[in-house]
Every structure is written in C-alpha cells, then in structure tokens.
Structure 1
Amino acid sequence: MIHLEFNSESENEGIARVVTAAYMMRFDPTVEEMADVKTAVSEAVTNCIVHAYETGEGRVILDISHEGRCMTITVEDFGVGIEDVEKAMEPMYTTKAEEERTGMGFSFMEAFMDKVEVISEPGRGTKVIMERTIGGTEAFHG
C-alpha cells in the first residue's frame, strides 16, 4: 500500500500521477491501462485542488492498494465538500464555468476506471474511491 499526503498545489498533481504509475508497474500494465488510470487520478486530484479549498491550500491524501490485480485508488480532501454528489457527477456540470472548467472530471474517472464511488459531506470534504483491474491472466509481479 502507498499512502501519500500533499498540499493542494497544482504541481502536486504530477507527483500523484508518477506515484500511481510507479505502483502500477508491478502489474505490467498496457500503455492504455497506464494512461487511463493516470488520467483518472489526475482528474480526482485536480478536483481537490480546484474545488475543495476555495480559501487557500489544504491537504490531499492519495492511497493506493491492491488485491490480486484489482487496484483501489482513494483520493481524499478535507475541504468544502459536495452538496449534491449525483448532480456533480453529471457530465458537463461545473461550479467553475467562469474558469472554463468542462465539468467532465467525474465522467473521465467513470470512463477510465471499473468503479467510482464518491463520498462527500458539505464542510467536511470528499473521498473518491476508484477501482481498476489491470491486465489479464499473465503472471503477477507483486
């Protein structure tokens, strides 16, 4: 398991992607699997950076684990939370239209991962739990 805690600065989104990619290497992923998972992580972390802490910086936690070939990636913040998770997960929904945000973050996560669960409480933060099985039946290296 990997547990990484970092500030909600845009530069740290790249660190989250690299750590995720390094963890995935034990599964000998395809280029497409690697790109999909890194994109989903990027979207989840970017949501924390852009939406969670409107008055400044805060903490973001990235946890990565696996059972067999199924990776579980959790991205958590302790910011403003989401009032209506179902609405927030609708394609094109954004609270930052003035910043030209597309509102596709959750849609990308759902497209690239096998399972996405969002748990949020206004004023307490948001946790995104994503799962993806990597590879087929070839030998597992971890």
Structure 2
Amino acid sequence: MKNEMELTFLSVSENEAFARATVGAFITQLDPTMDELTEIKTVVSEAVTNSIIHGYEGKTTCHIKIKCTIFKNNELELIISDQGVGIENIHEAKEPLFTSKPQLERSGMGFTIMESFMDSLEVFSKTGHGTTLIMKKQLTKTKTVCH
C-alpha cells in the first residue's frame, strides 16, 4: 500500500516555501522526527530553488512538479521535475561548491545537501528538456502500536 500526492506550481521564488510546507504537511502522517522533517523540507527547498534559478533561469511562467509517495514501510520517495534548460554535465553540477551562476552568489551546495539528507539521489537531465530528481529516504518508525 502507498499514499501519494502531486503538486504543480509556477516557478516563482514565493512558491518555494509553499512547496516545503506542502510536502512537510503530507509526510506528517509518518510521524517523522524533527530532524527528518527539517531535512526533507530542506531538500525540497534546494530542489525547487535549483529549478527556479538554474532550470528556468528566472522565467516565472513555467511549472515545477513534485510527486511525493509514501510507501507502507515508511519509505518516502520525492520526484521533483522541471522542463527547463537541463543540466549539461550532471557530474560537474553535483560537485560541492560548483555553481553555474556565480554572479548570483550561489553556494553550489544544493546537490551536496540533497545527497547528505536523503538515502539516494538520482538526477536525470537532458539539455533543453529539463531535469528530474528522484530522492528516497527511509524514515524512522516512531509510532508505537499497543497490542
């Protein structure tokens, strides 16, 4: 059994907080620890910000899509995608401190943060066709069941 939700929103920076809050509210049914909740919300923030700044290069008429799936075993899967410019060199983009927009004073730590907070991160991208991130995390089971 699984439960899932999908969210599509415009690529405006104001929607980054909305995406964080929505995913955070959805996963509360798993009773995550505060650390888990904070890490997942941070990952959503990093991915959405990357789509806005790098994927769409500030265009505000494009959409970002999030699909969040909760599996019976308390595993979370996040799929965040855009139809932006894509990533030319995924390996280079995942290097700590690498940024394609140094003029915007970006830290270049987005993928590093995503990799450290999630159990797995897969990046699929094609230049001119967008980027899809698939991230998974096994959450700690904190609810106790009385027998």
| Interval containing the TM-score (normalised by the shorter chain) | over 0.9
Once the 2 structures are TM-superposed, how far is the Cα of residue 139 of structure 1 from its aligned partner? Answer: 4.8
Counterpart for residue 133 of structure 1: 138
Q: Which amino acid aligns with 1:15?
A: F
CA contact (8 A) 2:47 2:80 kept: yes
**Range with bigger deviation, 46-55 or 113-122:** 46-55
Identical counterparts, % of pairs = 41
2:32 paired with 1:29: yes
Length-normalised TM-score, structure 2: 0.91
Note the alpha carbon deviations across 1:9-51, whole angstroms, 9 max, x for none. 0010011101111111111111000000100110000000101
Q: TM-score, normalised by structure 1?
A: 0.94
Matches within 5 A, 1:11-30: 11-30=14-33
CA distance in 2, matches of 1:2, 1:137: 22
Is 1:61 paired with 2:73?
A: no
Q: Map 1:1-142 onto structure 2 (within 5 A).
A: 1-54=4-57, 56-57=59-60, 58-68=62-72, 69-136=74-141, 138-139=143-144
Structure whose alpha-carbon radius of gyration is higher: 2
After the TM superposition, list the runs of 4 or more consecutive aligned residues in structure 1 that deviate by more than 3 angstroms. Answer: 137-140
Alignment coverage as a number of residue pairs:
140
Unaligned segments of structure 1, at least 5 residues = none
